Amino acid sequence: MRHLPFAIAAVAALSLPALAQPQAAKPAAAPAAKAAAIPPIAAPGRSLLSTKDVMRHIVNPAAEAFWARSGVVDDEKGANDRTPADDANWAISLDSAAQLAEAGNLLQMEGRARDPDGPWMKYAVQLTKAGLAGMAAAQAKDHDKTFDAGSAIYDACYACHGKYIPRPKDSLYKHDIDKDLEAAKKK
Ligand code: HEC
């Protein structure tokens, strides 16, 4: 990559930290590893994947699969109700809800629980409960319960991320998750 000195100076003046470190310092062919770091088999009962990989490969795909089969979205054809209309899709809802329910337990394992005496465990249990509600909804093939479970699943992600994924100090996203949750309860 070639650098134009005046361009660098302009970037520095705007203080964009991501660009302040010239990319050329890194070897060109080393994109950030997207693939899961595959760990050796751990001792029995010990966590294996990092929390990040549990999110990427278990929690997130399961949640996406569930959400894709719940609720009504507006698309070019109008209101599109994504609630399953056949057994094959209800089976996917059930599987993905079960994965989320059990993922709540994975998050509580030693080595993953960020803060075993703090709210981490509560949010992990919240995910399990939401997953179980999703399973019940899929078993009942119930439209409204599927939507409600999808919201409950979302709330669990949002609560834990709000508390445990640090935001940059100068983030414009300022609200306090605990206050948000209190306010939501009062509604
Ligand atoms: C009990 C806490 C907790 C819950 C519940 C939780 N997450 Fe996370 N999630 C985390 C933490 C902590 C990270 C940051 C991990 C890291 O970067 O090391 C994370 C990161 C992520 C990431 C980014 C992964 C990456 O590639 O950097 C995604 C996507 C994600 N979570 C999706 C979800 C979804 C979807 C849900 C709900 C269905 C959810 N999470 C529920 C704690 C949680």
Kindly state whether residue 39 falls inside one of the protein's structural domains. Answer: no
66-78 pLDDT, tens digit per residue, is 999 999 999 899 9
Kindly state whether residue 17 falls inside one of the protein's structural domains. Answer: no
Mean pLDDT of 145-158: 97
Q: How many domains does the chain have?
A: 1
Long-range contacts of residues 140-149, Cβ cutoff 8 Å, at least 24 apart: 141/84, 141/90, 143/81, 143/83, 146/69, 146/70, 146/83, 146/84, 146/93, 147/70, 147/71, 147/83, 149/66, 149/70, 149/97
Q: pLDDT at position 172, please?
A: 72
CA distance linking residue 155 with residue 57, whole number of Å: 20
Q: Which of 55, 56, 99, 102 to mutate to test the pocket of ligand 1 (most atoms within 8 A of CB)?
A: 55
Asked whether 167 and 173 are in contact (CB, 8 A), the reply is yes
Kindly state whether residue 101 falls inside one of the protein's structural domains. Answer: yes
Q: Where is mean pLDDT largest: 31-35, 149-153, 183-187?
A: 149-153
81-138 pLDDT, tens digit per residue, is 999 999 999 999 999 999 999 999 999 998 899 988 889 999 999 999 999 999 999 9
Residue-range definition of the domain harbouring residue 146: 51-186
Ligand 1 centroid–CA 21 distance in Å is 28
Kindly state whether residue 81 falls inside one of the protein's structural domains. Answer: yes
Mean pLDDT of 154-172: 88
User: Atom 39 of ligand 1 has which residue's CA nearest to it?
Assistant: 157
CB of 67 shorter than 6 A to ligand 1 = no
Kindly state whether residue 45 falls inside one of the protein's structural domains. Answer: no
**What's the DSSP call for residue 17?**
H
Q: Which of 161, 164, 165 to mutate to test the pocket of ligand 1 (most atoms within 8 A of CB)?
A: 161
Kindly state whether residue 42 falls inside one of the protein's structural domains. Answer: no
Q: How confident is the model at residue 32 (pLDDT cuts 50, 70, 90)?
A: low
CB of 35 shorter than 6 A to ligand 1 = no
